């Protein structure tokens, strides 16, 4: 996986993860890389600096959760409360719902990057979550 800093034609900056550099290129060429703020597909890679370790924030030194950790925990809570975890059956479930073979519902689960890309190519909307399933997290 690779994380890119991106910028849209409207000046919005954001980051996104991709399976590889060529994965980004393939999605970008199909207009599938869009700005989460305005939806523009005119997106380009922004200048990136290497990630350098920084001093831990004071809250972290005291064992408290940072604001980002709190926000991520809240997002996880909302996703888990409002969708069904289907594990490695995610791709089959998403495709079955898209094709009308199963009733539509909110789901989350696991998929390989190539499988997720194929869903997107087939017009099935999916998005990565910024956290691992609880059974795979430390």
Q: What is the structure's pLDDT at 61?
A: 65
Q: Is residue 73 domain-shared with residue 27, that is, in the same domain?
A: no
Domain that holds residue 85: 64-136
Q: What is the structure's pLDDT at 116?
A: 92
pLDDT band at 2 (very low <50, low <70, confident <90, very high): confident
Q: Is residue 126 domain-shared with residue 86, that is, in the same domain?
A: yes
Q: Is residue 40 domain-shared with residue 70, that is, in the same domain?
A: no
The tens digit of pLDDT for each residue in 6-27 reads 999 999 999 998 988 898 999 9
pLDDT band at 100 (very low <50, low <70, confident <90, very high): very high
Does the structure show a pLDDT above 80 at 57? no
57 domain residue, yes or no? no
Give the 3-state secondary structure of 3-69.
EEEEEECCCCEEEEEECCHHHHHHHHHCCCCCCCCCCCCCEEECCCCCCCCCCCCHHHHCCCCCHHH
Whether the model clears a pTM of 0.75, i.e. scores above it, the answer is: no
Instruction: Identify the three-state secondary structure at position 87.
Output: strand
Q: Is residue 38 domain-shared with residue 84, that is, in the same domain?
A: no
């Amino acid at each position: 996986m690779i994380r890119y800093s991106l910028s849209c034609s409207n000046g919005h900056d954001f980051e996104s993860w991709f399976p590889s550099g060529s994965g980004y290129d393939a999605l970008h060429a199909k207009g599938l890389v869009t700005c989460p703020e305005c939806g523009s597909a005119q997106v380009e890679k922004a200048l990136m600096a290497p990630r350098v370790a920084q001093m831990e924030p004071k809250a972290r030194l005291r064992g408290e959760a940072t604001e980002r950790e709190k926000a991520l925990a809240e997002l996880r809570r909302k996703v888990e409360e409002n969708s069904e975890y289907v594990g490695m059956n995610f791709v089959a479930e998403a495709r079955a719902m898209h094709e009308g073979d199963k009733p539509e519902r909110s789901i989350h689960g696991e998929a390989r990057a190539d499988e997720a890309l194929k869903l997107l190519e087939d017009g099935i909307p999916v998005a990565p979550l910024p956290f691992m399933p609880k059974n795979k997290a430390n």
